[in-house]
Structure 1
Amino acid sequence: MDTELARTFLAAHGSGSFVAAAERLHVTQSTVSARIQLLEAELGCVLFTRNRAGARLTDAGRRFHKHALLLVRTVETARHDVGLPEGIRASVSVGARIGLWEGLMLGWLGEVRRALPDISMRTEIGLEADLMQGLIDGRLDIGVMYTPQRRPRLEIEMLLEERLVLVASPGPEAGARYVHVDWGPEFDAQFSASFPDAGGPMLSANIGWLGLRYLLENGGSGYFPLRLVGDLLARGTLVRIASAPDFVLPAWVVYASDRDRSVIDAMIGLLRRRVREGNAAA
């Protein structure tokens, strides 16, 4: 299948109309329509319902969506791996939760670039399910996450233990406007055990960055890694609710058993060192 067809499909779905997809792809609307018709002919089904409001996925379109994503990602990864420029000996793809990139792995990227200048890197943000699937498919070489799953041919190593603390914006009523961040099933189990009578939150977020930005702009409270909110607490932007329990959440690094050890092990060694230095500084 031509990957341009899959890209056009994703653009039409993401923008909600063939007109907007054409603008995004810098082609004509008739080209988008022709590509979608060709794709539908290849698959033998109708992918979109077209009307004046735009284009919406059919049931078949929704089922094809995940395959289109995988197809495009696989081709992008292949181009990254195969099309290495002169002087680059290997390429590595790394994925992690956004909260682990922030304050930890972004700095690590700089260290890798300085220590291993002949390595090409591709990075992405994801939740555990996407990261694990990327590792299983071979799209990712290294994944850093909170709740990995054991799979054949993958090795799991604990990287650090996050301490999640309940923080709030200053004010007498801020603690009542609780924002629940989905830090994964392990956190949920600890939270439920400590707050068995807690009702459903008025607001929840699956990404810590989103929950924290909302809290800072609108007030409220929520559980966040001390590593991420330490500076905000020191400046008084947030306050720590000392009466609430802390939770410990391990973060893990996952990689393939048959990895290129000369490259991957060196990169993970730099990540371990960064964690040790961060712990020493704390």
Structure 2
Amino acid sequence: MDTELARTFLTVISSGSFISAADRLHVSQSTVSTRIHVLEDQLGCVLFVRNKAGTTLTSAGRQFQRHAATLVRTIEQARHDIGIPEGFSGTLVIGGRIGLWEEFLLEWLQLMREARPEISVRAESGLEPELMQGLIEGRIDIGVMYTPQSRPGLKLEQLFEERLVMVSTAARSKPEPQPGYVYVDWGPEFYARHNACFPNFGGPSLTANVGWLGLQHVLANGGSGYFPERIVRPHLEARQLHPVGNAPEFSMPAYVAYPLDGDRDLFGIALEIMHRVANARAKAKADRRPRSARGKRASPVEGG
């Protein structure tokens, strides 16, 4: 079977529709439809039910998903095995949002290397759609992100809650978006809560889909925005940034996603270290919270 057909099938699952899959694969919707029809002809069954809401797997589709993922993962595993650096016994591919690589995953990386020095680690960054696709195809072993989607064959575990706070280069700023405000796209839940808290906000002059990019712009050019408190803390202590008093705060969970059939030994130690780092940071955050609490809290931004 052509692995391209299996990859297209898995892309439809991860993206939720033929249209989104076509955008992600950089092909036309008709190409995606043709590939799925060819695949269905080869298998002699219908894999998807298409409706206005997108696509839904049939029972045959759910059964084939496991085989498609195994097929693609086998090819990727062969590439991993062939590409294992000399002196190492295996490779682990970790994908995460850029903001989660700052501090959290970097700390995990060092501890993982100390615990399993015989394992070569490949670190990648990306947004949620890319990370989910990599997990489903088997190109990524473990993904760490804010808004994962529940998919068959994958397990999600919450690591910690990110605290998003409004900060500004101005020492005194009103508790709502001002000129120079940078809107960071932290996901649909954040968008909904942001709109509810700032109903009169007309829209930003700059939107960034990566928090690091928005933060660098604010530091270089002035302005304000919502960023994880753990990332901006050094800038607050250095007085490069200032907390915006009485501005709402948002809570955004961070998750780890991994395949249920992953290597228990290797995945087990990697996940154990992640939870250990997350728990240690949560404890440190709780110890600081009474002294640094500022602003008023808004409803949490729940990750899917």
TM-score (ref. length: structure 1): 0.71
Task: Using the TM superposition, give the Cα deviation of residue 62 of structure 1 relative to its aligned residue in structure 2, in angstroms.
Answer: 5.1
Match of 1:249 in 2: 252
Q: How does 1:175-194 map to 2 (within 5 A)?
A: 175-194=178-197
The match for 1:96 is: 96
- What is the correspondence of 1:1-282 to structure 2 with a 5 Å cutoff? 63=27, 78-170=78-170, 175-282=178-285
Give the Cα–Cα distance (whole angstroms) in 2 for the partners of residues 62 and 132 of structure 1: 17
**Equivalent residue of 1:233, what SS?**
helix
Shifted more, 239-248 versus 75-84: the winner is 75-84
**Aligned partner of 2:27: which letter?**
R
Alpha-carbon distance in 1 for matches of 2:268, 2:26: 39
Q: Deviations over 1:40-99 (max 9, x none)?
A: xxxxxxxxxxxxxxxxxxxxx9539xx9xxxxxx98874333333454232111100000
Structure-1 residue corresponding to 2:69: none
Alpha-carbon distance in structure 1 between the residues aligned to 2:89 and 2:127: 29
Deviations 1:109-159 (A, max 9, x none): 111111101111111110000000000101001000000000000000001
Deviation sequence 1:187-220 (CA, Å, 0-9, x none): 1121111112211111010100000000000000
- Kept in 1: contact 2:76–2:138 (CA 8 A): no
Q: Which amino acid is the alignment partner of residue 205 of structure 2?
A: M
Q: Give, as a single letter, the amino acid of the residue that structure 1 aligns with 2:200.
A: D
Q: Aligned to 2:245, what secondary structure does the other structure show?
A: coil
2: distance between equivalents of 1:179 and 1:104? Answer: 24
Number of matched pairs: 216
Compute the RMSD of aligned alpha carbons: 2.5
SS in 1 for 2:203: coil
Counting aligned pairs with the same residue, the percent is 50
What amino acid is aligned across from residue 272 of structure 2 in structure 1? G
Taking structure 1 as reference, are residues 77 and 234 closer, same or farther at Cα in structure 2, changes over 3 Å only?
farther
CA distance in 2, matches of 1:101, 1:219: 24
Other-structure match for 1:53? none
Task: Give the TM-score of the pair, scaled to structure 2.
Answer: 0.66
Unaligned 5+ runs, structure 2 = 1-24, 33-73, 286-304
Structure 1 122/81 Cα, relative in aligned 2: closer, same or farther at 3 Å? farther
The answer as to whether partners of 2:94 and 2:122 remain within 8 angstroms in 1 is yes
The amino acid that maps onto 1:235 is A
Kept in 1, the 8 Å contact 2:160–2:255? The answer is: yes
Gapped runs of 5+ residues in structure 1?
1-60, 68-73
Question: Kindly tell me: are residues 154 and 161 of structure 1, through their superposed partners in 2, closer, same or farther at Cα, counting changes over 3 Å?
Answer: same
Counterpart-to-counterpart distance in 1, 2:76 and 2:122: 10
Q: What is residue 51 of structure 2 aligned with on the other side?
A: none
Looking at structure 2, the residues matched to 210 and 149 of structure 1 have their Cα atoms a distance apart, in angstroms, of: 24
